[in-house]
Amino acid sequence: MASQPDTGAPAVTAASTPAEIRAAVQKGRQTGRQAVSDHEGFLRHAKFRWLKIAVVLCVLSLIGYFGADVKPRPNGGSWMGYTLGTIGALLIVWLTLLGYRKRHMTRGAWSLKAWTSAHVYLGLSLIIVATLHTGFQFGWNVHTLAYTLMMLVILSGIFGISAYATLPQQLSANRGEMTQGQMLDALRAIDRQLHDAAQPLDRHYADLVLAALEQDPFEGRLFARLTGHYPGCTTRAAVEGFNRASLSEARDPTIQRIESLLQRRTSQLSLVRRHMRIRGLLEVWLYVHVPVTFALLAALTAHIISVFYYW
C-alpha cells in the first residue's frame, strides 16, 4: 500500500472488509492518537484558511440574496438564483473530485490535507449557498430531490468529522497499552494454551474447544461489527457447553483450566470486537457519503437539464 495520505483522517475507506481490517491490525497501521492530532491538522489547516473562505462565500451569498431586488420573490430562476446555482453546482463537482484526489496525492499548498480542509468547509458552505439558491421553494420534484441528496451527503460528512474527532480516542482507550498487533498476539497465545490443554478432553468437549479455536476473530459482516452482535459465536457456545458440565466433570482440573482459558479468550475477543466496532463506525458514514454523492450528481444533472429544457 502507498504511504498514508496526509489528510489527517483516520485511514479508512468505504471498501474496508474484515480481511483489510485484519491486515491493518496486523501491520499496526496507525494509532488513534496520531489520527486525532492529524484530524486537528486538516480542520485547522493554514490557520483555518478554508473556514474563512467559506464564511466569506456565505456572507457574500447572503448579501446577494437579501440585496438583490428579485420580483415577486427570490427564486432559483432569477439572476441571483442562477449565480448561486452555478456556484453550488461547480462546488459539488469539485467536492466530488476529492475521491480522485485522495488516490493521487501530492505535498505542499495543494496537499491532500489542504484539499480535505477545503472540502469540509466549502462542503458546509453549500448549506447556505444551495438553500438560498432554492429561494426556499421546495416540492415533490427533481430539484428538491437534488437538494435533499446534497443535504444527506453533507449530514453524513458532519457525522464523519465527528467520528474522526472522537472515535480514535476510544480506539486507543480500548487497546490500553497494547498495540493492535499485541492485542492479536495475546489472543493467539491464549489459543495455543487452549489447544494444548484440550488434548486430554473427550470428543464432545474437544469439539467445542476446536470450534472456538477455528473461529476467525475478524468474522462478521459490517452489521455484526457495528452492533457487536455475533449470533453464531463458537467461543460463547463453548463457554455455555462447559457450563453444562456435570458436578464431577466440573471438579476435573483439565476442565477447570479450559473454562478459565475460554473466559480469557472471551474477554480478549471482546477487546478485538470493540476495536472492529469502532473502526466500523469510522468508515460506515462513507457508505452513505460516497454512493449518495453519485445519486446527487445524477439528480443534479436532471435538475440542470430540466431547468434549461423548460427555459
Interface characters, 133-152, with ligand HEM (x: CB under 6 A): -----------------x--
Residue 21, C-alpha cell as written in the block: 481490517
Please list the alpha-helical segments (H only) found in the chain: 18-27, 32-67, 79-96, 98-102, 112-134, 142-175, 180-197, 203-214, 222-227, 234-243, 247-251, 253-284, 286-309
Among the residue ranges 153-161, 194-202, 208-216, 231-239, the one whose residues contact ligand HEM (CB under 6 A): 153-161
Backbone angles phi, psi at 78, to 5 degrees: -80, 170
State in angstroms the smallest separation of the CB of 21 from ligand HEM.
15
Residue nearest to ligand HEM (CB): 157
Describe the crossing of helices 79-96 and 112-134 by its angle, rounded to 10 degrees.
Answer: 150
Q: Which among 49-57, 134-142, 157-165, 241-249 is the span making contact with ligand HEM, rule CB under 6 A?
A: 157-165
Asked if 85 and 65 count as a contact pair (C-beta separation under 8 A), the reply is no
Q: Take residue 220 and report the three cell numbers written for it.
A: 462478521
Long-range contacts of 13-22 (CB under 8 A, 24+ apart): 13/283, 13/286, 14/283, 14/286, 14/287, 14/289, 14/290, 16/279, 16/283, 18/216, 18/218, 18/219, 18/220, 18/225, 18/276, 19/218, 21/218, 21/276, 21/279, 22/218
Instruction: Please tell me what DSSP assigns to residue 141.
Output: S
Rule CB under 6 A: say whether 153 interacts with ligand HEM: yes
What number of chain residues touch ligand HEM (CB under 6 A)?
Answer: 28
Which of 24, 99, 144, 193: binder of ligand HEM (CB under 6 A)? 99
126 part of the interface to ligand HEM, by CB under 6 A? yes
Give the one residue of 116, 117, 234, 268 binding ligand HEM; rule: CB under 6 A.
116
The residue among 258 and 281 lying less far from ligand HEM, judged by its C-beta, is 281
Binds ligand HEM by CB under 6 A, chosen from 18, 32, 81, 160: 160
Q: Are 164 and 39 in contact (CB under 8 A)?
A: yes
Based on the shown chain and the rule CB under 6 A, indicate whether residue 290 belongs to the binding site for ligand HEM: yes
114 binds ligand HEM (CB under 6 A): no
How far, in Å, are 95, 131, 254, 273, 304 from residue 89 at the CA level? 10, 12, 69, 41, 9
Pick the binder of ligand HEM from 135, 157, 217, 280 (CB under 6 A): 157
Which of 102, 236, 257, 274 touches ligand HEM by CB under 6 A? 102
What residues between 167 and 226 interact with ligand HEM by CB under 6 A? none
Residue 122: CB minimum distance to ligand HEM, A = 8
d(CA 13, CA 103): 11
Binding pattern for the stretch 235-274 against ligand HEM, x by CB under 6 A and - elsewhere: ----------------------------------------
Pick between residue 103 and residue 192 the one whose CB is nearest to ligand HEM.
103
CB 127 → ligand HEM: shortest distance, Å?
Answer: 8
Say how far apart CA 295 and CA 297 lie, in whole Å.
Answer: 5
Residues making contact with ligand HEM (CB under 6 A):
7, 9, 12-14, 92, 95-96, 98-99, 102, 116, 119-120, 123-124, 126, 150, 153-154, 157-158, 160-161, 286, 289-290, 293
